[in-house]
Structure 1
């Protein structure tokens, strides 16, 4: 992995962890914030041709997309 990819991966992991904690707390504002961050990072990955297959579970993507629609 390049340094960029490594940092991107760690930020995606952090966004997922934040989203999980926000969901556990039932904090809609934080759920939206972490969902938006996660989707933004995945868009950045796609724009730079970084393959993120397997980085985020489909169920997590569904939650994120559902809160940013």
Structure 2
């Protein structure tokens, strides 16, 4: 399970970095897509009982919703 958690965390970190780049260049739709990917990954983690409370700033993730 540790390897699964490590890979999942890495994917979340990659999506967070991509979302930050998209936000910096003003690509709102890409911000939304990366935010959706992060939420999907967090859902997978939750289904496996993995604590992700310190992985993502939830306020920044909420800001990534389309139309936010």
With normalisation by structure 2, the TM-score equals: 0.86
Partner of 2:31: 31
Partner of 1:20: 20
> Following TM superposition, by how much is the alpha carbon of 1:68 offset from its aligned partner in structure 2, in angstroms?
7.8
The answer to whether 1:67 aligns with 2:51 is no
Superposition RMSD on alpha carbons, in Å?
1.9
Aligned residues of 2:19 and 2:31 also touching (Cα < 8 A): yes
Hey, what's the Cα distance between the residues in 2 that align with 1:22 and 1:38?
Answer: 14
Q: Which stretches in structure 2 are left out of the alignment for 5+ residues? A: none
Q: Which stretches in structure 1 are left out of the alignment for 5+ residues? A: none
State the number of aligned residues: 68
Aligned residues of 1:35 and 1:67 also touching (Cα < 8 A): no
Aligned residues of 1:19 and 1:30 also touching (Cα < 8 A): yes
SS at match of 2:50: coil
Partner of 2:7: 7
With normalisation by structure 1, the TM-score equals: 0.84
